[in-house]
A and B are shown apart, each in its own frame.
Chain A
Amino acid sequence: MIDNLMEYDSVTLVACNERDELIKVLTDFDIKVTAIDYDKKFEDKYVCKDFVFDEVEFGECVVHFNCEKTYPLGKIYKGDMVLIGDDQGHNGDPNPITSVQDLIEQNNITEVFEKQSWHENGVTHYLVWGTNK
């Protein structure tokens, strides 16, 4: 994924939890990185907002790490995005992702640059890099 992000000047990470390593790598390549997460434990280092409900600024590309937990990014943002979600069905998840097609359709992706899925600890993860511009 890091290679994909190298072509942008600014990247926004949403619902990202701990991503210190990724942020460091991107920043080292002079990419402006903004991380947004409403969990107060990140308030010292991230923008502590809910990107779905609050007013936030997005970069050239938005990386959503937990699509299963939120309203689809593509319904509130137009542009390039990397969408990652899983089918775990945690009891807080309103939107379990069961295929790359789910991600494409929910976010109105019109052009797919890359897609993949992988299996880990009984959970299938899905990734789509694309745009809805």
Chain B
Amino acid sequence: MNFYTFKWGTAYGPEYVNRLYGSLLKHYDKPFTLTCYTDDHIGIYDDVIIKDIQDLRPWDTDMVFTFEKLILIEKEESGIWFDLDILIHKNITKVIEEQAVGDFKMIYNHWNDYYTKSVRCCGKCSSCHINSSMVYFNNPEWLTTFTRDNWDKISFTYKSLDKYMFYQHHRTDRLKFWDNTVAHSFNYGDDAGTLSNHVSLFNTSHIKANKLSDIVYELHEAGNEVTKIWKSYD
């Protein structure tokens, strides 16, 4: 399996990449590669394949939208990408064997409550119930074609990849999801603050982007058990 991740700017250091690699060594039992698209490879293990993040940037823009992921699926055709702010803490071999099928699979935010998922007006374009922290892709032509054909509208309308995917592709039932036992949010839901399922997500970028006041934790500040496991992947 080919795994991918992305690191640019200064929010995350090389230890995030190295520990992701370490977690795959521990929790994925089959041959794999990890490729990191980055603007700074210093400090990243030699076993991680390094590629230039600029290869995923055909447009000169500083927008928040992580369109690099969409270019990745055109460039690499098949694999799984992980965001850096996740913690794999349980074996994922079987999960991937059984569920990495079809052409595109994302995480459904099953931890969001009924009100935000079902009642709140979706027309405000502020809800988002899917997550792209762990995505399987296998040449999803429908997605690359739609994105290319509508890029002007997409880049104008959405400030994140997840919102684009939710409002355009979940709305039209094009998306498939990992089942709810694969990933969970460390910051939201009934099992917040624990390490359940196989992969814990620590996404906090939406807090700043949406000026929210939720108390959430990044991976490096989550505390004892998390820190211990995370550092054990060095």
Q: Which residues of A contact B (CB under 8 A)?
A: 15, 17, 37-41, 50, 52-53, 66, 69-71, 90-95
Contacts and interface: CB of A to CB of B under 8 A. Distances in A.
Given A39-B121, A53-B150, A53-B168, A91 B126 contact: yes
B123 A15 contact: yes
B157 A52 contact: yes
A9 to B, nearest CB: 27
B124 A92 contact: yes
A53 B153 contact: yes
A92 B153 contact: no
Contacts of A50: 167-168, 171
Question: Which of under 10, 10 to 19, 20 to 34, or 35 or more describes the interface residues of B?
Answer: 10 to 19
Contacts of B124: 69, 90, 92
Contacts of B157: 52, 70-71, 94
Contacts of B123: 15, 17, 37-39, 66, 69
B211 A91 contact: yes
Given A52-B153, A71-B157, 11 more contacts: A15-B123, A38-B122, A38-B123, A50-B167, A50-B168, A69-B123, A69-B124, A91-B126, A91-B211, A92-B125, A94-B125
A39 B126 contact: no
A94 B156 contact: yes
Interface string B193-230: 00000000000000001110000000000000000000
Contacts of B45: none
Interface of B: 121-126, 150, 152-153, 156-159, 167-168, 171, 209-211
A90 B157 CA distance: 13
> Which of B126, B152, B209 has the most chain A CB atoms closer than 10 A to its own CB?
B126
B168 to A, nearest CB: 6
A45 B122 CA distance: 17
Contacts of A40: 122
B171 A38 contact: yes
A104 B122 CA distance: 27
Given A70-B157, A71-B156, A91 B171 contact: no
A91 B159 CA distance: 10
B114 to A, nearest CB: 14
A92 B150 contact: no
A99 B121 CA distance: 26
Give the top 6 A-B pairs by smallest Cβ distance, nearest first. Answer: A92-B126, A92-B125, A39-B123, A91-B210, A92-B124, A71-B153
Nearest to B149: A53
Contact of A90 (B122, B126, B150): B126
Contacts of B210: 91
